[in-house]
Amino acid sequence: MVKNNEKKKISGAQAVVKCLIAEGVDLIFGYPGGAIMPVYDALYDVEEELKHVLTRHEQGAVHAAQGYARATGKVGVCIATSGPGATNLITGIADAQVDSTPLVCITGQVAAHLLGSDAFQETDVIGISMPVTKWNFQVTNAQEIPFALAKAFFIARSGKPGPVLVDITKDAQFEPFHFNYTTFTGMRSYLPIPKFNKGMCEKVIEQINEAERPLILFGQGVILGNAESEFKDFIEKSGIPSAWTILGLSALDSDHYLNVGMLGMHGNYAPNKLTNECDLLIAIGMRFDDRVTGNLEKYAKQAQIVHIEIDEAEINKNVFANYPLIGDVKEILPYLTAHIEARTHPEWLQQFRELEKEEIEAVIYQELNPVVDQLSMGEVLNLINEVSDNKNVIVSDVGQHQMITCRYAKFKASKSSITSGGLGTMGFCLPAAIGAKMGEPNKEVIAIVGDGGFQMTLQELGTIFQFKTAVKIILLNNEFLGMVRQWQELFFDKRYASTTMINPDFQTIVAGYGIETNKVKQRKYLKGAIKTMLDFEGPYFLEVMVGKENNVFPMVATGDSVADIRLK
């Protein structure tokens, strides 16, 4: 009986659910087990407010949460039990940490009095996850739950986003207490958005106004900062050619006249070559990872470097910045745009066009118009461009097909290219596509996957089957672990050690999950099959047999300068 103004107590598990709802969460991904069972029992009462998606593996849950976050810009949420349930999340958490994806991961834990006793399904998930989370915390009594989760959501979404993990002991989930939830607004030790230095901005403005051969490199920071419009205004006023990292893809329309293509190991010829000829290099929301820079000793030594970045730890980590601008790209870019001179760089831009022609003649034309009977991955992506409005969300796995997708898919909307960047996680695609489709149900979501990565998480076809998720899956099947095979061909004398795939009948497997399926081996059927897939209302699986030993070019070999990029 409630006395006077005394509020009724609720359990810690019920508090977890109330916290999620208070943060605006309406969809979570997970897999139940003993140590998280009280939370699942609480979820049973709020099915209409807070939908839970039962994946077929905890790794599927965290990748689905990533796909949801990347497609929507919201915080993705996943939940798992203790022990193996928690450790199965780690790969996805590490992936989210490297790619700055906002996640809140909730794990159950054994009762507090059993901690450290090697109890059944006990693991030190706090210790294990510490290197790959933005923040983590273990809750041992119910009263800590509201504060811990409020802080978790704040940290996950603020500043440079990332994954957080909250581990909750089972007794804390059962414990009753008086619930009160207050949104977290900040703490003294954490300044997620540094105030940018206007004095440094003035120096950057001077450099932009004087540069004759400037080049912009933009990454996912433009997307995470919701600064796509500000970025477009900046490049159009400055007239600077702009190249993207694979995580920056879709921040700028693929057909924009200043979009000069992809940077990095399998990027476009022109931006890689001319990185070492520009006089001003402006990096925006990217971290100069090794796949972009190649040999650092030979990287852009002739250029003055401007680095616009929200995370001070990225400044000078790999490439020295003459002009570091630390702060929010959405605030910095309008300031720069307002004060720079309106310019064009026709002669400089023409150099990009000429090198682009070389790449088209040496690589692109043959990839999109192969003269052999074998289908190429590039022509599949090109046909998707032809028969769609280029506003699809395209999720790719890791390997040759990932590079082909980034190189040839066309995008007109931001947050529409989703892939595993920094960690390069095979198996990411299928569950991430599920999460993306559930987050953006009115958009067409296409999963581009290889036969290797597909078999790492194909159990998530069961999730598609149960929830009738209308994902369109294209399997580019070359019966190899293609990217590793390419390296074996080029650098290991074609010694194909453990890269040949003896595959099952994918058509039978997929049909067993009640998913419409088709297989194409001949070019004359390809375009019609892609159109049929896209027109189909439910989930669809299209397997395309492609050339077994096709390679992805251009290519910057390990240890080479970006200027040494190879066309063959």
In angstroms, the CA 164 to CA 201 distance is: 33
The residues pairing with 526 across neighbouring beta strands, listed in sequence order, are: none
Q: How far is CA 29 from CA 91, 276, 413, 453, in A?
A: 15, 45, 26, 21
Of the candidates 160, 170, 410, 472, the residue annotated as catalytic is 170
In angstroms, the CA 239 to CA 233 distance is: 10
SS (H, E, C) 63-93: HHHHHHHHHHCCCEEEEECCCHHHHCCHHHH
One-letter amino acid at 523 equals R
Q: How far is CA 109 from CA 63, 113, 115, 254, 467, in A?
A: 21, 11, 9, 46, 28
Residue 483 annotated as catalytic: yes
Q: What are phi and psi of 365, to 5 degrees?
A: -60, -45
H helical segments located in 76-197: 84-87, 90-98, 125-129, 145-157, 170-174
Task: Please provide the DSSP assignment of 232-251 as one string.
Answer: HHHHHHHT--EEE-TTTTTS
Of the candidates 18, 23, 29, 58, the residue annotated as catalytic is 58
Q: How far is CA 555 from CA 268, 363, 513, in A?
A: 9, 11, 39
Other beta carbons within 10 angstroms of residue 57's beta carbon come to 20
Query: Are the beta carbons of 264 and 291 closer than 8 angstroms?
Result: yes
Residue 277 annotated as catalytic: no
Half-sphere exposure of 551 (CA within 13 A, CB side): 17
Of the candidates 377, 438, 483, 555, the residue annotated as catalytic is 483
Sorted by sequence, the CB contacts under 8 Å of residue 19 that are 6+ apart come out as: 145, 146, 149, 150, 181
Of the candidates 9, 37, 74, 121, the residue annotated as catalytic is 121
> Please, is 353 exposed, middle or buried when counting C-beta atoms within 10 Å of its C-beta (0-12, 13-18, 19+)?
exposed
Q: Which two tokens stand for residue 459?
A: 């159990």
Q: Which two tokens stand for residue 139?
A: 């809750």
Measured at the CA of 402, the angle between CA 356 and CA 431, to 5 degrees, comes to: 150
Residue 536 annotated as catalytic: no
In angstroms, the CA 145 to CA 171 distance is: 12
Q: What are phi and psi of 202, to 5 degrees?
A: -65, -40
Q: Which two tokens stand for residue 199?
A: 């004095």
Residue 527 annotated as catalytic: no
Residue 170 annotated as catalytic: yes
Q: How far is CA 55 from CA 37, 51, 199, in A?
A: 16, 13, 51
Q: Which two tokens stand for residue 393?
A: 């969300």
Q: Which two tokens stand for residue 241?
A: 């050619």
194 preceded by cis ω (within 30°)?
no
Residues with a catalytic annotation lie at 58, 120-121, 170, 483
